[in-house]
Amino acid sequence: MKGLAPIVTVAAVLALVPFVTGSNTVLNFLVMALLIALAGQGWNVLGGYGGQYSFGHAAFFGTGAYVTAILQVRYGLNAWIGFALGIVAGALVGAVVGGLSFRSGLRGSYFALVTLAFAEVLRIVASVAPITGAGVGTLIKLDLRPEAFQFQSRAPFYWILLALVCLSLVVTRLIEDSRFGAYLVAVRENEDAARALGVNTVLVKLGAMTVSAAIAAAAGGFYAQYFLFVDSGIAYGPWISVEALLAPIIGGVGTVFGPLLGALVVKTLGELTKLVAGDAPGLDLVIYGCVLVAVVAFAPRGIAGLIASVRGRFNASAMPSVERSHG
C-alpha cells in the first residue's frame, strides 16, 4: 500500500483541476496530455521494463479506437461495452504481434521495425476497408448521455481518463513489485542470462506485450469517444507511436511516473511551439527531437531520474548536518 500512496496523492490533486478552472482550453490540454501519458505508460511496460522498444504502438491505439467506434456505428453496441471490447481487441493484436515476433527470436531494432510495419499495414488496410469507412473514416453519432459515453462538459471525460491513467500507474507499480516484473527486468538486462536461469523469456515478453497493447488500446478507445471520429491517419498514424515513445523516454523510462511527467512536457512544448510559430508543419517534431537529444545527453534517466538524483544529493548533504546536531 505504501507504494500506491504517491499514485493516490497525484490522483487526488489532479482530480481537483475541474473545480479550480472550468476552462475548456485547460481541460482539453490536460486530456491530451493524459491521453499521451496513458499510451506512453503502455509503451513503458514493454519498452521501459522489458527493454523491447516498439516503433508501432499506433497498431494497438488504432485497434482500440476503431473497434470502439465500429461496434457502435455498425452494430449498435453500447459505447461502454464497445470500449471494453476495444481494449480486448488491442490486447489480442498485441499478443499476435508479440507471438510472431518473439517466437521468431526478433529483438532490438528488428523487433522495433516489425512493430512499425504492423502499424503501417493496419493503416493501409483501414484506409481501404469498407467497415472502417475507408478514406472517409468513421463518425460516431452525437448522443450526449453518460450511457453513450458522451457528456455535456469536458470534466467527466477528464475524470474518466484520469482514472484510466491512475489504473495504469497501479498496474505498472504492481508489475514493478511482482515476480513477473523481476523476470521482465532480467530479460531487459540480459535475456540470454535470464533464459539460462530458467526464465521463459518468450512468455514474459509476450505477457508484457499484451498488457502494453491493452493500455494503448484503452487510450485509442477513449480518443474515439472524445472526438467522435476516427480515420486511418489518426488511428494508425505515426504521431501516436512517436509521442507514446517520447513521453516515457523524456519523463523517465522504466519508472512509474515517467510517462506522465514526459507527457506533460511533450504537450506543453507542443502548445508553446504552436503559440510562437503557429501551425508550421513538422516544427513540433524538430522541438521534440532536440529535447530528446538533450535528455539522452544530460539526463539519460529522464526527468524522474533527475528528480531522484537531486533528492538523493539533498538527503546526502542533509545527513552530516543532522549527525553534527546530534553530536
Q: What is the pLDDT of residues 33-85, one digit of tens each?
A: 999 999 999 999 999 999 999 999 999 999 999 999 999 999 999 999 999 99
pLDDT the model gives residue 312 = 77
Residue 134, C-alpha cell as written in the block? 475507408
For 106, other C-beta atoms within 10 Å of its C-beta total: 17
Domain boundaries of the chain, sorted by first residue: 2-326
Q: Which residues contact 251 (CB under 8 A, 6 or more apart)?
A: 40, 257, 258, 259, 260, 261, 262, 263, 265, 302, 303, 304
pLDDT the model gives residue 324 = 56
C-alpha–C-alpha distance, residues 185 and 190, integer Å: 9
pLDDT the model gives residue 135 = 86
pLDDT the model gives residue 325 = 56
CA 217 to chain centre: 9
pLDDT the model gives residue 299 = 82
pLDDT the model gives residue 85 = 98
pLDDT the model gives residue 275 = 82
pLDDT the model gives residue 315 = 73
C-alpha–C-alpha distance, residues 60 and 241, integer Å: 10
Average pLDDT per block of 10 residues along the chain, 327 residues long: 85 96 92 97 97 96 98 96 98 97 92 96 96 93 96 96 98 96 96 95 97 98 97 94 93 94 91 78 78 84 83 71 55
Residue 303, C-alpha cell as written in the block? 526527468
Contacts from 183-189 at CB under 8 Å and sequence distance 24+? 184/49, 184/50, 184/208, 185/49, 187/50, 187/51, 188/49, 188/50, 188/51, 188/52, 188/254, 189/51
User: 2-326 domain in CATH 3.60.15?
Assistant: no
